[in-house]
Amino acid sequence: MRTFLTITLRGAGKLIALTFWVGGQALFARDTNPSPFQYVWGKAYHILPETHSDESGYFSLCEGLNGRIYVGTAKYGLNSYLVEFDPASETQRIVIDTHRLCGLSSTGYAAQAKIHTRNFVGPSGRIYVGSKQGYRRDGDTSEYPGGYVMVYDPKTDTAENLGMPYRRQGVIDVVADEPRGLIYVVTCEDQHWMLYENRTRVYRELGPMLTPYATTLIDRKGKANALSRDFQLAQYDPVSRKITTRDIMVDGSRFTRLDQNSIPVWQLAADRRTAYLILMNDPTLVEIDLGRSGKTVRANGHGKMIQGRNFDSRGALSIAPDGRIYALVRVDNDTGFGRGYLHHLARFTPRTKKMEDLGVLAVKNPDFFDFSPRADGKPPPFSHGYHRLPDGTLTPLHVH
């Protein structure tokens, strides 16, 4: 089922919320032997069942300035929603109904089936998201019209439809430069880089084409930064209205996209000049200087955030207010203690260059969902994202 897990880390001063594909329990006998790794305990919450299908979800998750968590959902063939979760009362409610807000009624492949954006919180507290297509089912001949950019204001409890950036394309990223009245959008499945001006209420394409799942970072000079499909740094200057592209040199070697799973996830540090990046299939932490001039961009590697095999990290990089970098990375469980995968929470401290494995995610309230077999003896549909370790601990098996 669609859930997220909340973890409070001592000393970090940061509520880290993660969203998972939720699944059934693997049947292990409880083992009295201690785990060979430590656990990072969190509390899991099942997202409102009426807002999603197939118990599926993506990395559409953010914490608002009001301390509430905002989660985008996927209801394939029907609709998508933005759900607000209040940690204080542990209650949820729908704040964006995509089809209702955009005046739509299409179903099937033509539906706005996902909110898949990382969700951007502006200085005003407004939450910016975008919708995209789902999957074409057998016999469905409908065409996807294109996704919409939407914004929710928690202060007024109102939402606004900002239109469709590009016909036939979904929206995978939305970032707002509120002081300048600009919104940067990345489309999918082709990665067009678009700019929306509040003054004109018109979208225009910036170029160049970006790498899959690209996201925009706005640095302290107001420049928009994104990775091109060739893994170059593309920068747009809203003052000169010009774009530059430069190679990124990591410890002297050109940064390249090795394969289709080399999907970057990056975040901007508090200085708004430094970006930290990992890849979906490589947890090597890269520090990029966005403000340096010259023909190339200088970057430094800090080594892998976690050791293991078959890495997978999907939108799971975050920078805490104290400047430390956190990432959730999945690896094969080669410990001999259970099977499947393990999801480790790793941390890097820039000041000391210390890398830490904080442990494996574990659910302290395993009864948050009824995993027991249904009347036909089968597990609940699509409930394959969690499993139990030999000591009985419930831990994620799959995550997005």
Q: Domain for residue 10, yes or no?
A: no
Note whether residue 8 is domain-resident. Answer: no
- Residue 399 inside a domain? The answer is no
Q: Judge whether 204 and 195 are in contact, CB under 8 Å.
A: yes
Residue 237 falls inside a structural domain: yes
Task: For tokens 């919409």, name the residue.
Answer: 148
C-alpha torsion sign, points 189, 190, 193, 194 = negative
- Yes or no: say if 64 and 125 are a contact pair by the CB < 8 Å rule: yes
Report the CATH number that the domain containing residue 145 is assigned in CATH: 2.120.10.80
Is residue 25 domain-resident?
no
14 found inside a domain: no
- Full strand arrangement of the beta sheet holding 14-21: 14-21, 2-9, 39-46, 354-363, 341-349, 325-332, 317-319
Question: Is residue 36 assigned to a domain?
Answer: no
Range of the domain at 144: 52-354
Say what the pTM is.
0.92
| Structural tokens at position 303 | 């080594």
User: Per-residue confidence of the chain (400 residues) as pLDDT tens digits?
Assistant: 566 666 644 443 333 444 333 333 332 334 456 899 999 999 999 999 999 999 888 999 999 999 999 999 999 999 999 999 999 999 999 999 999 999 999 999 999 999 999 999 999 999 999 999 999 999 999 999 999 999 999 999 999 999 999 999 999 999 999 999 999 999 999 999 999 999 999 999 998 999 999 999 999 999 999 999 999 999 999 999 999 999 999 999 999 999 999 999 999 999 999 999 999 999 999 999 999 999 999 999 999 999 999 999 998 999 999 999 999 999 999 999 999 999 999 999 999 999 999 999 999 999 999 999 999 999 999 888 999 999 999 999 988 6
Task: Assess if residue 62 is contained within a domain.
Answer: yes
**What is the separation, in whole angstroms, between the first and last Cα of the chain?**
12
User: Domain total for the chain?
Assistant: 1
